[in-house]
């Protein structure tokens, strides 16, 4: 990667790969016509921050190369020093899924990292948690109003008596009834709820509030002792009293728990990006990828996701599969999603968003190449289908949509303790069950949102820090947050998003 | 309809239509083998409450008739006095959509009802509201955490200063980004959010909180002055302060409004049922249907919905269309849903739920015949596609899924002031934007949930009240609630369900 200076008034671009014929403008506010770079390049028109400049003259139909990969073809002649806008780029076809190398890329194994630990909570089933939260699962949306009423009272009246418990979370969602529960794809939302009910940050305490007549019968989620069916109760007041009583039993047990030291190998970390821009792939995501490699070297489980933002870079991933079976699993998930989009008369051009484009991302190919940088360089040890629990160590591909909330919900179902979230445009995203570490791609975002951004990777673009430095900073921050020594901004403010289930089956 | 006595120890069944060869058991707890009815019928086995008894011997393959319609065929010989269980009934094919009469059923017009009024709020656009609520619309789920934080502060610190404002509601949903917004079916969630943002219970005050980079750009929902984009703000503290400031301006204006008298013709009432049982179609739904006829006679707009619970009774509805075009619109919505279910490898047998079945409903045909009783006897004046606003008076079919929350959300988008909700098994459902009047189908449910049920129609089954009496009671209660003179139980407790958007398009 080539960067040139730290100060905003010195024209600066980032070229990622030696073969690239475009680079992105670093300077906040963009650069004017006439701006000259130390290499001799001069802009022949204004280019906004994060957008691409042509490093040489491009013929019509010539490949446009970024990250060493073709992100599209020039629709017309593009002069050196001009703005390579979205409208000038035609999309390449996606990688052909039946012709991909399935494994076998030789990866120089990094040495294991020893001695890194965190302070967590031991669960009876052998798993470890990093939070001590009472999670109250719902089997159907009907119970939301009553449960929210009860949880408000629990937080006000009970929680202060149990200072070792971090929170009480109502796991509301919009599944459970009025859905085609026998349809083949219904397996996804059902197993998602099942796995979330027993999340490791809930300390082994399970509690389910159901209605009674719903399609997703509560006994599919928990044992009878852990279930409250509202239709068995004598009215609203009794419902609320019973929820509070069941909650208090569990709060008492949770309150007795204490943190213990565990090796970093017990951690399950999810990676995601949202509100991406052209910097995501050169600052935040590579730094996250570096931290991911450190976590994998320390023996932890690390998941990257977002099928629609991986699809166009999948040819870079299948060779990294530890064996052909994992390679085939990766391709299977891509094919499932191709078919899912096709059924809905949509395609990959549904991504990126207007904000992504404003941030310089011309199309989903460019976005994907930046997105997969989060996965670092480790071998891909396994694939987790949507809603399933991760059962392996190492780097895993958890197949989820790219929607932040749906991806977050599915990574929680997979057992994620903590999520690392890269953002370029900025989003105040959070989860109640697991801390979300927000990493900014640009210095300007940190300056604007200094009470929301946890780690800034914008310094990589300006040359103030290296990918390695930010990667290590993030790695240490993850261990600190997992140990309760540091808090994310979202947790400090107590802001979080609701669960958002992936239900590709019909509703009825 | 034939009922026989009031006391639970006197064996009692309900036969709806003279051609019916089955009837449902009224007695709480069911009736034992040997129980004898005044007509001479004797049970030859135990039958639970709400379940069907054979009124005569049925041959194999003989039609089983309820509501005067075939609800299925006997899989085997069924003896008179025995339990006609779900397992003994095969499903009939659904009505063939291309061979239905489209209109033309002569309906004796009821005389108009004059002189009924309610106390509502006049909106500047000519509509009328029945609540005075500040609704804060969201263009994307990213903003939920910040908005919820701000709304909590607004409710605690500001709302007490504005006593004429009933509530502040954050209109959270899981749409806006990470969705295939160009897919053909995306039009449904988009117009739903657009129409909810300007709901008549919000007094003409519009306020949208967006992020900035989302696919559903906030300017599709409101004018620039009514939009706050979080990405334009200097951090979390500034976001919260700005939301509060925008809210206060609107609270000041809303607080100055006073109720005025309006004719009942200004009302827009939605009808729904949830947690249905075999009594739904003979007690609550017919009483609601009677009240619907009264409302239509008074000139109001009344919507019934739930495509999957109308599909098998659609041959009873198309003849009631005011003209062939309305008949064709009704059929178009049925066909759309048939195709939607088929794409997801589901069919109409996905409905009913386990609780419906426990309550005596053998299949979706029997459920549908009971469900459409809500529509009364008025001509069907129009069809409202999902997410669209109702623009007509009279009885309308608002085409929505049967899922309570999705139906509720779409009826809100259609402009519903108030919803009437029949329940047999019991659900504590509520909506923050509009009162939900809960009508029980059985006396036992009222006794069990006397702090949640607003109107009891169970008295119809025991002969203590007529359909007409309960219908009039409901009609008056609707006018009282619309006027703020009476409160529903859900509003008294402040319990409500979140919006649940219908998004048949893919997420990305």
> If pLDDT is split at 50, 70 and 90, which confidence band does B354 have?
confident
Q: Indicate if the pLDDT at residue B5 is higher than 50.
A: no
To the nearest whole number, what is the mean pLDDT of chain B?
Answer: 95
List, in order, residues 6 or more apart from A249 with CB less than 8 Å away: none
Residues 102-141 of chain A with CB under 8 A from chain B are 141
Which stretches of A41-153 are assigned E, i.e. beta strand? 52-54, 63-66, 69-74, 89-90, 117-122, 128-129, 133-138
- Rounded to whole angstroms, how far apart are CA atoms A502 and A196? 13
Phi then psi for residue B187, to 5 deg, are -60, -30
**Burial, A29: exposed, middle or buried (Cβ in 10 Å; 0-12, 13-18, 19+)?**
exposed
- DSSP reduced 3-state for B335: helix
Q: Within 10 Å of residue A431's Cβ, how many Cβ atoms?
A: 29
Chain B residue whose CA is closest to A339: B506
Average pLDDT of the segment spanning B258-274: 97
DSSP calls for A153-171:
HIIIIIGGG-TT--EEEEE
Partner B, chain A 400-419, Cβ-Cβ below 8 Å:
401-406
Please name the residue of chain B whose CA is at the shortest distance from the CA of residue A351. Answer: B508
In three-state form (DSSP H/G/I as H, E/B as E, the rest C), the secondary structure along B398-434 is ECCCCCHHHHHHHHHHCCCCEEEEEECCCCCCCECCC
Which residue in the set A346, A356, A450 is minimally distant from B235, CB to CB? A450
Q: Is the pLDDT of residue B1 over 60?
A: no
Residue B3, pLDDT > 60, answer: no
Q: Which residue has the tokens 């619970």?
A: B309
Q: Which residue has the tokens 């906004």?
A: A48
Q: Is A430 on the interface with B (CB under 8 A)?
A: yes
Cα–Cα distance, A35 to A41 (Å, whole number): 8
Is the pLDDT reported for residue A393 higher than 50? yes
In sequence order, what are the residues at sequence separation of 6 or more whose Cβ sits closer than 8 angstroms to the Cβ of residue A406?
Answer: A400, A500, A501, A502, B178, B507
pLDDT at residue B447 above 90? yes
The CA distance from A452 to the nearest CA of chain B, in Å, is 6
Cis peptide before B352 (omega within 30 of 0): yes
Amino acid B264: pLDDT: 98
- Residues 6 or more apart from B217 whose CB is under 8 A from it? A354, B139, B210
Each residue's pLDDT tens digit, B202-260: 999 999 999 999 999 999 999 999 999 999 999 999 999 999 999 999 999 999 999 99
Of the pLDDT bands very low, low, confident and very high (cuts 50, 70, 90), residue B6 is low
Specify the higher pLDDT residue, A359 or A167: A167
| Angstrom distance (rounded) from CA A399 to CA A306 | 6
**Is pLDDT of B8 > 80?**
no
- Report pLDDT for B262: 98
Chain B window 265-284: which residues touch A at a Cβ cutoff of 8 Å? 274-275
Q: pTM for this structure?
A: 0.94
Q: What is the mean pLDDT of chain A?
A: 95
Q: Do B141 and A500 touch (CB under 8 A)?
A: yes
C-alpha span between A330 and A398 (Å, rounded)? 9
Q: Is B99:B47 a contact under the CB 8 Å cutoff?
A: no
Task: Report the candidate in A308, A292, A288, A309 with the shortest Cα–Cα distance to residue A300.
Answer: A292
What is the interface size between A and B, counted as CB pairs within 8 Å? 261
Q: How confident is the model at residue A276 (pLDDT cuts 50, 70, 90)?
A: confident
Q: Tell me the mean pLDDT in the region A142-148.
A: 97
| Whether pLDDT at B359 is above 50 | yes
Mean pLDDT of A133-161: 98
| pLDDT over threshold 70, residue B4 | no
pLDDT at B302: 98
For B141-173, what is each residue's pLDDT tens digit? 999 999 999 999 999 999 999 999 999 999 999
Q: CA separation (Å) from B491 to A146, A152, A170, A337, B134? A: 12, 16, 21, 42, 16
Name which of A472, A419, A439, A421 is nearest A130 in CA terms.
A419
Q: Is A182 helix (H, G, I), strand (E, B) or coil?
A: coil
pLDDT of residue A5: 46
Alpha-carbon gap, residue B8 to B29, rounded angstroms: 9
* pLDDT at residue B7, rounded to an integer: 61
Nearest CA among B498, B454, B412, B82 for reference residue B288:
B454
> Does B2 score more than 70 pLDDT?
no
> What integer is the mean pLDDT of B31-51?
95
Q: Is the pLDDT of residue B348 over 90?
A: no
Q: Which two tokens stand for residue A165?
A: 């418990």
Give contacts of A452 with chain B, Cβ < 8 Å.
235-236
Tell which of A339, A428, A441 to mutate to test the B interface (max B CBs under 10 Å): A428
Quick one: how many helices (H) and strands (E) in chain B?
Answer: 13, 20
From chain B, the residues in CB contact with A211 under 8 A are 275, 355, 425-427
Predicted local distance difference test score (pLDDT) of residue A4: 45
Predicted confidence (pLDDT) at residue B278 exceeds the cutoff of 90: no
d(CA B401, CA B384) in angstroms, rounded, equals 13
Over residues A14-40, mean pLDDT:
93
For residues B52 and B78, what is the distance between their CA atoms, to the nearest angstrom?
12
* Complex ipTM: 0.94
Q: What is the pLDDT of residue B357?
A: 87
Cβ-in-10-Å burial (0-12, 13-18, 19+) of B157 comes to exposed
User: Model confidence over A154-201: pLDDT tens digits?
Assistant: 999 999 999 999 999 999 999 999 999 999 999 999 999 999 999 999
Mutate one of B145, B170, B274 to test the A interface: name it (highest A CB count within 10 A): B145
Report chain B residues whose CB lies below 8 A from the CB of A500.
141, 174
What mean pLDDT do residues B481-489 have?
Answer: 98
The answer on pLDDT for A285 being more than 70 is yes
Query: Residue B305: left if φ>0, alpha if ψ -120 to 50, beta else—which one?
Result: beta
Could you tell me which residues come within 8 angstroms of residue B99 by beta carbon, excluding any fewer than 6 positions away? none
pLDDT above 90 (res B199) = yes
Question: Is the per-residue pLDDT at B433 higher than 60?
Answer: yes
| B219-222: long-range contacts, CB 8 A cutoff, minimum separation 24 | B220/B139, B220/B190, B220/B194, B221/B137, B221/B139, B221/B193, B221/B194, B221/B197, B222/B137, B222/B197
CB contact residues (below 8 A), chain B span 340-399, against chain A: 340-341, 343-346, 349-351, 353-356, 358-359
At residue B309, φ and ψ (nearest 5 deg) are: -105, 10
Cα B10 from Cα A490, distance rounded (Å): 62
The residue in chain A having the minimum alpha-carbon distance to the alpha carbon of residue B502 is: A507
pLDDT bin (cut points 50, 70, 90) of residue A288 is very high
């Amino acid at each position: 990667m080539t960067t040139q200076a730290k100060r905003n008034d010195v024209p600066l671009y980032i070229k990622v790969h030696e073969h690239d014929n475009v680079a992105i403008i670093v300077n906040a506010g963009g650069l004017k016509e006439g701006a000259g770079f130390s290499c001799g390049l001069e802009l022949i028109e204004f280019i906004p921050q994060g957008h691409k400049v042509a490093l040489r003259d491009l013929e019509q139909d010539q490949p446009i190369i970024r990250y060493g990969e073709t992100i599209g073809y020039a629709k017309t002649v593009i002069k050196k020093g001009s703005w390579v806008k979205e409208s000038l780029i035609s999309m390449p076809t996606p990688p052909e899924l039946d012709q991909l190398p399935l494994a076998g890329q030789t990866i120089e194994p990094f040495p294991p990292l020893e001695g890194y630990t965190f302070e967590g909570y031991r669960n009876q089933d052998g798993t470890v948690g990093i939070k001590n939260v009472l999670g109250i699962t719902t089997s159907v949306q009907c119970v939301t109003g009553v449960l929210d009423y009860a949880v408000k009272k629990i937080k006000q009246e009970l929680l202060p008596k149990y200072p070792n418990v971090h929170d009480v979370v109502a796991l509301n969602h919009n599944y459970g009834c009025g859905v085609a529960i026998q349809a083949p794809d219904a397996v996804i939302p059902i197993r998602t709820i099942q796995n979330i009910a027993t999340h490791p940050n809930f300390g082994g305490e399970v509690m389910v509030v159901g209605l009674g007549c719903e399609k997703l019968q509560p006994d599919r989620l928990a044992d009878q002792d852990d279930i409250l069916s509202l239709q068995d109760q004598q009215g609203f007041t009794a419902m609320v009293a019973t929820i509070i009583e069941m909650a208090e039993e569990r709060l008492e047990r949770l309150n007795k728990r204490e943190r213990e030291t565990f090796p970093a190998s017990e951690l399950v970390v999810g990676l995601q990006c949202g509100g991406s821009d052209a910097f995501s792939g050169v600052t935040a995501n590579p730094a996250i990828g570096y931290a991911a490699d450190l976590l994998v070297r320390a023996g932890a489980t690390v998941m990257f996701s977002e099928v629609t933002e991986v699809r166009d870079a999948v040819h870079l991933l299948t060779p990294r599969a530890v064996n052909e079976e994992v390679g085939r699993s990766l391709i299977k998930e891509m094919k499932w999603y191709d078919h899912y989009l096709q059924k809905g008369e949509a395609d990959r051009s549904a991504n990126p968003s207007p904000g992504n484009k404003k941030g310089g991302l011309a199309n989903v190919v460019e976005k994907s190449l930046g997105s997969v940088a989060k996965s670092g360089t480790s071998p891909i040890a396994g694939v987790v289908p949507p809603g399933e629990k991760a059962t392996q160590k190492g780097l895993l591909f958890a197949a989820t949509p790219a929607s932040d909330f749906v991806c977050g919900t599915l990574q929680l179902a997979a057992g994620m303790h903590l999520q690392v979230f890269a953002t370029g445009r900025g989003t105040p995203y959070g989860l109640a069950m697991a801390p979300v570490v927000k990493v900014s791609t640009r210095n300007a975002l940190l300056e604007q949102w200094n009470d929301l951004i946890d780690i800034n990777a914008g310094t990589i673009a300006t040359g103030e820090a290296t990918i390695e430095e930010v990667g290590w900073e993030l790695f240490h921050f993850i261990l600190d947050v997992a140990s309760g020594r540091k808090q994310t901004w979202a947790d400090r403010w107590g802001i979080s998003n609701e669960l958002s289930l992936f239900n590709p089956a019909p509703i009825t």
